[in-house]
């Protein structure tokens, strides 16, 4: 058990009580997949016939099959073409303890010229706000301390998950590395597991866009995501170094950006 979580368990358990470990053990078995958009929320249009909402669900279904074949439990926030509010996505994710939350998306650019993959974690300032809200609900200084500790640990774990996924996507697909970045994506706010948002490629790019619609490429993306998730769950260890900038997208690191999904 990570030291921060051990401290949380001791504080929550109180004097003379042994912290429960069963939920943490169970959480190692569940991965939540969030296929972005859905229903009337089409997402970005592709170069050919598909929209982002379709590609994200197709890749999520492929990844879910791979994860289950490797012994993981999987929860999809949606399993068909339906619209869900961001709050409902988060609620479904938090319904049971999970090891990781991955929201899948396809990117787009104003001039349709950009390409590559990037993985986002929640902006620390947004994470702090969420922690304060949790503290207010629980009440008291101990609750505030627990919320701060949990937010810090979750951000560290989210960065580690993002780095594992980003490295795997770049390595297996040979994709342009746009880095691990921070943003105030609403779908990540309030998620109680390590959470990332993955932009699997640019759906509007003349080359990359049509490829995202190909079943063989979707299988390759799902395999890369699987390997990144497995690396995160199996290795543990320190959080990767944070560096990089918007102007040097191929440098490994954590960049700042704002986007809404």
Q: What pLDDT is attached to residue 140?
A: 62
Q: What are the pLDDT digits (tens) for 116-166?
A: 999 999 876 544 555 555 555 556 665 555 555 666 788 899 999 999 999
Question: Vertex 197, ends 196 and 199: CA angle to 5°?
Answer: 140
For the stretch 42-66, pLDDT in tens is 999 998 889 999 999 999 999 999 9
Picking from 10-24, 118-132, 178-192, 229-243, which range would have the lowest pLDDT averaged per residue?
10-24
The predicted structure's pLDDT at residue 139: 61
Q: What is the CATH number of domain 22-239?
A: 3.40.630.40
Average pLDDT in the 182-200 region? 91
Q: Please give the model's pTM, rounded to 2 decimal places.
A: 0.78
Listed by start position, the domains of the chain span 22-239
Question: Under 8 Å CB-to-CB from 4, ≥6 apart: which residues?
Answer: 149, 150, 152, 153
Q: Does 6 have pLDDT greater than 70?
A: no
Q: What are the beta bridge partners of residue 117? A: 177
83-107 per-residue burial string, b: 16 or more CB within 10 A, e: under 16: ebebeebbebbeeebbbbbbbbbbb
Retrieve residue 164's tokens.
């594992």
Q: Which of 5-9, 64-68, 245-249 has the lowest mean pLDDT?
A: 245-249
């Amino acid at each position: 058990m990570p030291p921060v979580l051990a401290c949380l368990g001791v504080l929550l358990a109180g004097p003379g009580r042994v912290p429960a470990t069963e939920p943490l053990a169970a959480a190692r078995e569940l991965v939540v997949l969030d296929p972005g958009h859905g229903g009337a929320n089409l997402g970005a249009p592709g170069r050919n016939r598909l929209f982002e909402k379709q590609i994200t669900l197709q890749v999520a279904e492929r990844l879910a099959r791979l994860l289950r074949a490797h012994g993981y439990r999987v929860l999809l926030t949606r399993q068909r073409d339906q619209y869900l509010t961001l709050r409902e996505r988060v609620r479904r994710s938090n319904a049971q303890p999970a090891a990781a939350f991955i929201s899948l998306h396809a990117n787009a650019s104003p001039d349709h010229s950009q390409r590559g993959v990037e993985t986002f974690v929640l902006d620390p300032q947004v994470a702090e706000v969420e922690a304060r809200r949790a503290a207010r609900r629980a009440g008291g200084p101990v609750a505030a301390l627990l919320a701060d500790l949990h937010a810090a640990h979750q951000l560290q774990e989210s960065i580690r998950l993002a780095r594992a996924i980003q490295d795997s996507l770049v390595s297996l697909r040979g994709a342009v590395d746009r880095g691990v970045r921070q943003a105030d994506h609403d779908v990540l706010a309030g998620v109680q597991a390590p959470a990332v948002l993955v932009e699997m490629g640019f759906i509007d790019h003349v080359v990359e866009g049509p490829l995202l619609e190909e079943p063989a490429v979707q299988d390759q993306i799902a395999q890369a995501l699987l390997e990144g998730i497995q690396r995160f769950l199996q290795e543990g260890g320190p959080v990767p170094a944070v560096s990089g900038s918007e102007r040097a997208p191929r440098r490994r690191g954590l960049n700042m950006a704002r986007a809404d999904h």
